[in-house]
């Protein structure tokens, strides 16, 4: 069963690539007492993720912050090396988007947002969604019907509901 509006997100340990190598990041700490936006993609360097989803949040990150969002986080079931390279190549990192890896799909599976599409080479990946989270509670959850579409989970759609 997928996480729903009004529920508390589980604390999770995600990864990012720091100067000394992979570092753990506590999602629970990032959420505590803060208003954040989390969006997730099926895979770094994949089509819609790269050409639509990430760019949509780059376009609206300043407007989200004006509305009180303290951090925008992109989560993907990839390793932290890939997420760092992808964040740099898309401009997401320079724009201020935090790129976090759910390398084992533990968080994604815990919130029921996992899927597999073996013909496309996507195994244990994340569905495409975006959520507004306040102090760990899901206030808005916009999930796409199919992973190849970025409409309700795009930056502009989230900006309208923050």
Cα–Cα dist 58/70, whole Å: 15
pLDDT in tens, 31-55: 999 999 999 999 999 999 999 999 9
**Range 8-26 average pLDDT:** 96
pLDDT of residue 118: 81
**Residues taking part in catalysis:** 49
Q: How far apart are CA 97 and CA 117, in angstroms?
A: 27
DSSP 1-52: ----TTPBPPP-EEEEEETTEEEEEEHHHHHTT-EEEEEEES-TT-HHIIII
Give tens-digit pLDDT for 52-78. Answer: 999 999 999 999 999 999 999 999 999
What digits encode the pLDDT tens for the residues 81-139?
999 999 999 999 999 999 999 999 999 999 999 998 888 888 899 999 999 999 999 99
* For the chain, domain boundaries: 13-161
The architecture in CATH of the region 13-161 reads 3-Layer(aba) Sandwich (3.40)
Which of 60, 12, 30 is CA-nearest to residue 133? 30
């Amino acid at each position: 069963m997928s996480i729903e509006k009004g529920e508390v997100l589980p604390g999770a340990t995600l990864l990012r690539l720091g100067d000394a190598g992979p570092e753990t990041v506590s999602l629970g700490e990032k959420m505590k007492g803060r208003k954040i936006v989390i969006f997730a993609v099926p895979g770094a360097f994949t089509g819609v993720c790269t050409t639509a989803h990430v760019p949509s949040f780059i376009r609206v990150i300043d407007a989200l912050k004006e509305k009180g969002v303290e951090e925008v986080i992109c989560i993907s079931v990839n390793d932290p090396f890939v997420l760092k390279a992808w964040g740099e190549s898309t401009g997401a990192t320079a724009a201020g988007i935090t790129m976090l890896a759910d390398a084992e799909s533990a968080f994604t599976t815990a919130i029921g947002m996992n899927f597999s599409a073996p013909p496309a080479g996507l195994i244990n990946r994340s569905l495409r969604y975006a959520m507004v989270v306040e102090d760990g509670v899901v206030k808005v959850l916009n999930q796409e019907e199919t992973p190849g579409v970025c409409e309700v989970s795009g930056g502009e759609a989230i900006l309208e509901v923050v």
